[in-house]
Chains A and B, each alone.
Chain A
């Protein structure tokens, strides 16, 4: 478990530097990424479906990123872009190609659909979280204005 957190953290830090994250956002975004990765691996270990695990991991990490963005008054993407990367299905993309070249079309189609599903799961998770946070903050603002 500690291994997963450390690996997830290092992976995110690398991308944080690669995308030229603001210095104070790198560590926070990477912690969010490490937590998201931990959730994903723990769910996969417990034999949950990979796409569901990706979805829940992405939900958890994007909630953390939205909170960070509000707390530190920075753009959400500064935290979320590096954090999301461990969940992006690079391995799936490779295996799809690998099986395709081995002429194992069944497995290739299998992997291809799973890869696509993973990407869509990440997209929907981001979509839900950022729509909900926007809604919540709008409601809070309206309540504040009424008082």
Chain B
């Protein structure tokens, strides 16, 4: 009996850990809930209640008249599609062929340590992509504009990593980054390296734009997780205001200095 209780405790811990990884990687709410429920079910637990918000997971299971409850708080979220997809595959595997709890735990640890693409590659492709964005929206852009956008985004990526360590709130970190990018763009235009500030700023701010938050807000809302959908929609609004504030403050300063 004692062995069984211990197993259930471990099962709850591990499945909550799986849910936590999902939510930290910005997965949809229903997917995290589904995965926790499916994992518990395939280990023979019948009575499962899981309630998930974008910031928290609550799990209660009842076995043999005894109730076990856990709450897990989620603090830092960072989009990582590889982790979502790996946990998804792991849960499918567990449903298909019930693996031992030790194996489950090992797999969780290895998924949690997945690095995916290296920082250098991410920074390079992201910069190229932002450079292309400038050209996409401004057909008049020159190759120099592309290069300036590339360089600014490249440094911004590392600044973003640096700020990420201090877990600032979305508004402040996005306005700092947007202000940094706009001021560099301003410098480039003043020194006649780039032709047009619009192209550069439009390209570079794509790295901050809350596309993920909007997409997730919609997906959560249609799945009935209206509360989490609202949280994410609000997150998108806060990020957008942060960007607007950061860009705006530099533009105001430039206007005052007669640069614009």
Residues of chain A having any CB pair with chain B under 8 Å: 4, 7-8, 10-22, 25, 37, 73-75, 77-78, 80-81, 84-86, 88, 90-91, 93-98, 100-102, 119, 122-123, 126-127, 130-131
Query: A13 near B215 (CB under 8 angstroms)?
Result: no
Residues of chain B having any CB pair with chain A under 8 Å: 27-28, 31, 79-86, 88, 92, 116-117, 121-122, 125-130, 132-133, 135-137, 198, 201-202, 205-207, 209-212, 214-219, 221-222, 236, 240, 243-244, 247-248, 251-252, 255
Contact of A85 among B201, B205, B209, B248 (CB under 8 A): B209
State how many angstroms separate the Cβ of B117 from the closest Cβ of chain A: 5
Contact of B243 among A12, A13, A93, A126 (CB under 8 A): A93
Interface centre among A14, A18, A96 (most CB of B within 10 A): A14
Question: Is the contact region of chain B dominated by helix, strand, or loop, or is it mixed?
Answer: helix
Give 23 pairs: A residue, B residue, CB < 8 Å, sorted on A: A13-B125, A15-B129, A17-B121, A17-B126, A18-B125, A20-B79, A21-B82, A25-B81, A75-B27, A77-B81, A77-B219, A78-B81, A85-B209, A88-B206, A88-B211, A88-B214, A90-B202, A93-B205, A93-B240, A97-B248, A101-B248, A127-B222, A130-B219
CA distance A16 to B28 in the complex (A): 18
Interface centre among B83, B132, B137 (most CB of A within 10 A): B132
State how many angstroms separate the Cβ of B120 from the closest Cβ of chain A: 11
Query: B117 near A75 (CB under 8 angstroms)?
Result: no
Query: B136 near A11 (CB under 8 angstroms)?
Result: yes
Query: A94 near B211 (CB under 8 angstroms)?
Result: no
Cβ contacts under 8 Å, B132 to chain A = 7, 10-11, 14
Query: B129 near A13 (CB under 8 angstroms)?
Result: yes
Cβ contacts under 8 Å, B86 to chain A = 22
Cβ contacts under 8 Å, B88 to chain A = 74-75
Nearest neighbor of B115 in chain A, beta-carbon distance: A20
